[in-house]
Chain A
Amino acid sequence: MNGNAEFAISVRGLTKRFGDRTVVDHFDMDVPRGSIYGFLGPNGSGKTTTIRMMCGLLVPDDGEGECLGYDILTQSRRIKEHVGYMTQRFSLYEDLTIRENLDFIARMFRLKDRASRVDAALEDLDLKDRADQLAGTLSGGWKQRMSLAACMLHEPSLLLLDEPTAGVDPKARRDFWDEIRRLSAKGVTVLVSTHYMDEAVQCDFIAYIAYGRRLISGPAREIPKIIGLHTWRVEGGDISALEEELRKDERVGQVARFGPVLHVSGTDKMALDAVAQEQMKRGTHEWTAREAGLEEAFIYLMAGARDNFAGAGAAR
């Protein structure tokens, strides 16, 4: 493997326009080798387009970058040989069986020992019993497993997963992530776009994109700090009534409920602390200051309008 030793993906100023609509606007990203990199953002924010540009399926209108040390503008064929790309929509052949699909992909990558590698992939992802079932008759979870098996077949060193668990049940999602972590432990770099908080918290790094612009990125642990989010934990008393009340309070940024506990957060520390002081005086609930977690950060990001953290995004 040649090129940059530190980053699997390193792009600068990536821009894509469809007609007069700028879908991705001067996007920068560095994905450290061996990491799990979460790619967050609302629908239509340009995640899929960015991923497609990184693996050579779309030609950027502007910008430059490397993927596994290969130039994304001129060496897309080399990139394709070392990247496993799992599309958002199921994109294998529904009228072929699982085995036929995997065999087809194996031939596309000109793999040696094709039969044994297909067998191994079937074994790995527990698809053996269904190997001769037509892909079109599989449920969402199985289709997704098969897609993962297909994009892993040529043992890529970088996986690009575009909302891989959309529409998949929670158990299948957990299994899927076990598999992702197992691959990551073997040194595979994973870039995964997602809408789910429980997936975001599994990532080592996070980038948040909205309207085609990267607003925030950094190690997952530092994201709350980068946003500048402060949190109070509240429990006891009539928690529902309090939740209702706090939601109406303009000084409070967001209220997230975790069972009997409320996490009250905001970026304006002064205002938030003032609310906490007032509430503590009432003494109906127990208030404790705590460090904002990735959960709060995630909710904040997914709910927030872009103006709120356009400034904070420059922190990194």
Chain B
Amino acid sequence: MISFSLGRFSAVLIKEFVQMRRDRVTFAMMIGIPIMQLLLFGFAINSDPKHLPTLVQMDDSGPISRAVLASMRTSDYFDFIGAVTGREEGDRALRDGTANFVVVIPRNFERDVLRGLSPDILLAADASDPTATSGAVAALTGIVDAAVAQSLTGARQPEPRPAEPFSVTVHRQFNPESETPINIVPGLLGIILSMTMVMITAVAIVRESERGTMEALLATPVRPLEVMFGKIIPYILVGYIQTAVFLAAARLLFDVPFLGSPLAFFVGFNLFIAVNLMVGFLISTLARSQMQAMQISFFTLLPTILLSGFMFPFAGMPGWAQAIGNAIPATHFLRITRKVMLKGAGLADITSDMAAIVAITAVVIVIALSRYRQTLD
């Protein structure tokens, strides 16, 4: 019973290409969206923000205190915007948002340092947005230690302290400077492909029923598989173009490295495109209008952004959220791109991620084909 006509398949294919070529706006969008997103995410988002407005409460003005402030400033994390004289003034600035930090250098700081009393510097931080302040907070201890150590030379050396029993050395691999674009950009490719591929496919198929052309199509002896492949393959090509544009821009604008095996990337990327197109096809069998198709596509986009590990660390999510995340193709593609682009992975390193995508694809195909109707019922 199963027979596939190459002639009919290529007829659908050719028709899709002609329609795509005539629909200039959609075509421009397919190319424009990746570039726009890349620029927005790449330039606008920074999870390790610097130059945060900081106020100083100087209750001690010795050279060591000044050295501490100077090295805070050179760290780029803190921009000193002024001085406060008391606790209350500092609190008010934190509350109304004029400053993210208030640094308090306590009275007799220098004297206590020299006496080896380990005085405390207070850093009052606005932690209502932890992401904004955590980078600076984490960096502060190192900055202050270095500044103090530098100022203490010769006779001013305090009483020698016993050596620490051990020390921890952090080795930031794959993204030593913690640059946000390097973290965001590889994942962003997955989000952009999810968004455009799913939506464009879903809308393209629903358009047939909404405009009434499905009736003429079904009146011919065409088979579901011929329609499905003929409609989907043109969009695979669109995915290729988007990815090429994206990778080129990532390289030129953000210096995002590509360390791993191009073959591994290519295979993983094709699997990902395939699964997205199938999801789009599935949505098209559920939606009654192009508007609905669009809405359902957007509905799937939100969990993709939030639960895939693109926005927030996957490991930090509770078990049930990870389970949902694992059912999302972008989760696995995101791992593939990060592994291949940043960590230099090859095919062998991404087999489990590819297997997950294949499994999701199989499930989606079964559902989609069972939903696709050969009649108008």
Q: Report the bound CA distance from A313 to B375 in whole Å.
A: 32
User: Does B251 belong to the interface (CB within 8 Å)?
Assistant: no
Q: CB-nearest residue of chain B relative to A109?
A: B220
Q: Which residues of A contact B211 (CB under 8 A)?
A: 91, 94
C-alpha spacing A94/B211, complex, angstroms? 9
Among A59, A90, A105, A134, contact of B220 (Cβ-Cβ < 8 Å): A105
Contact with A along B7-47 (1 / 0, CB 8 A): 11011001100110011000000000000000000000000
- With A57-B375, A58-B376, A100-B15 as known contacts, state yes or no: A108 contacts B215, CB within 8 Å: no
Q: Which of B202-257 contact A (CB under 8 A)?
A: 211-222
Interchain CB contact under 8 A, B5 and A110: yes
Contact (A57, B219) CB under 8 Å given A89-B212, A107-B8, A108-B11: yes
Binary per-residue interface labels of chain A (40-56) against chain B in the complex, 1 for a CB within 8 Å, 0 otherwise: 00000000000010011
Q: Are A107 and B7 in contact (CB under 8 A)?
A: yes
State the Cβ distance, B1 to closest chain A Cβ, in Å.
Answer: 10
CB-CB < 8 A to A105: which residues of B? 216, 220
B96 within 8 A of partner (CB) = no
A10 at the interface (CB under 8 A from B): no
Q: A105-B220, A109-B220 are in contact. Are A58 and B377 (CB under 8 A)?
A: yes
With known contacts A108-B11, A110-B7, A92–B216 Cβ distance under 8 A: yes
Contact between chains at A52 and B376 (CB < 8 Å): yes
Would you give the shortest CB distance from A210 to chain B, in whole angstroms?
23
Q: A58-B375, A59-B377, A80-B221 are in contact. Are A96 and B18 (CB under 8 A)?
A: yes
CB distance from B178 to the nearest CB of A (A): 49
Give the residues from 67 to 126 in chain A that come closer than 8 angstroms, CB to CB, to chain B.
Answer: 77, 80-81, 83, 85, 87, 89-96, 100, 103-105, 107-110
Assess whether A107 is in contact with B18, with CB atoms less than 8 Å apart.
no
Determine if B215 and A107 form an interchain contact, defined as CB atoms under 8 angstroms apart.
no
A81 partner residues in chain B, CB cutoff 8 A: 221
Contact present for B19 and A104 (CB under 8 Å): no
A108 contact set on B, CB distance < 8 A: 8, 11, 217, 220-222
Knowing A93-B19, A104-B15, A108-B11, the reply to whether A59 touches B375 (Cβ < 8 A) is yes
Q: Which listed residue, B213, B219, B375, touches A85 by the CB 8 Å rule?
A: B219
Measured CA separation A95–B27 after assembly (Å): 15
User: When the two chains form their complex, are residues B19 and A95 in contact, meaning their CB atoms are under 8 A apart?
Assistant: yes
CA distance A268 to B345 in the complex (A): 92
B15 interface neighbour in A56, A93, A150, Cβ under 8 Å: A93
**A93 to B217 CA separation, bound complex (whole angstroms):** 10
Tell me the minimal C-beta distance from A175 to chain B in angstroms: 22
Tell me if A96 and B212 are in contact (CB < 8 A).
no
Question: How many Å from the CB of B59 to the closest CB on chain A?
Answer: 75
Interface flags for B366-377 (1: CB within 8 Å of A; 0: not) read 000000000111
Nearest residue in B to A110 (C-beta to C-beta)? B7
Residues of A within 8 A of B22 (CB): 95, 134
CB nearest neighbor in B for A78: B221
Which residues of A lie under 8 Å from residue B214 when comparing CB positions?
Answer: 91
**Contact of B216 (CB < 8 Å), options: A77, A83, A87, A134:** A87
Minimum C-beta distance from B110 to chain A (A): 78
Contact with A along B141-171 (1 / 0, CB 8 A): 0000000000000000000000000000000
Assembly CA distance A52 to B374 (angstroms): 12
Of B7, B10, B18, B216, most buried by chain A (CB within 10 Å of CB) is B216
Closest to A92 in B: B216
- CA separation between A110 and B221, bound complex, in Å? 9
Could you tell me the distance between the alpha carbons of A90 and B23 in the complex, rounded to whole angstroms?
Answer: 20
Q: Tell me which residues across on chain A come within 8 A of B375, comparing CB atoms.
A: 56-59
Q: Which residues of A contact B217 (CB under 8 A)?
A: 108
Partner of B215, one of A59, A83, A91, A134: A91
Query: 19 A-B Cβ contacts within 8 A?
Result: A57-B375, A57-B376, A80-B221, A87-B216, A87-B219, A91-B212, A91-B216, A93-B15, A93-B213, A95-B19, A95-B22, A96-B15, A100-B18, A104-B11, A107-B7, A107-B10, A108-B217, A108-B220, A110-B8
Given contacts A91-B214, A107-B10, 20 further A-B contacts (CB under 8 A): A56-B375, A57-B218, A57-B376, A58-B376, A59-B375, A80-B220, A80-B221, A89-B212, A91-B215, A92-B216, A93-B213, A95-B23, A103-B11, A104-B11, A107-B7, A107-B11, A108-B222, A109-B220, A110-B5, A110-B7
**Shortest beta-carbon contacts, A-B, top 6:** A107-B11, A108-B220, A91-B216, A85-B219, A91-B212, A89-B212
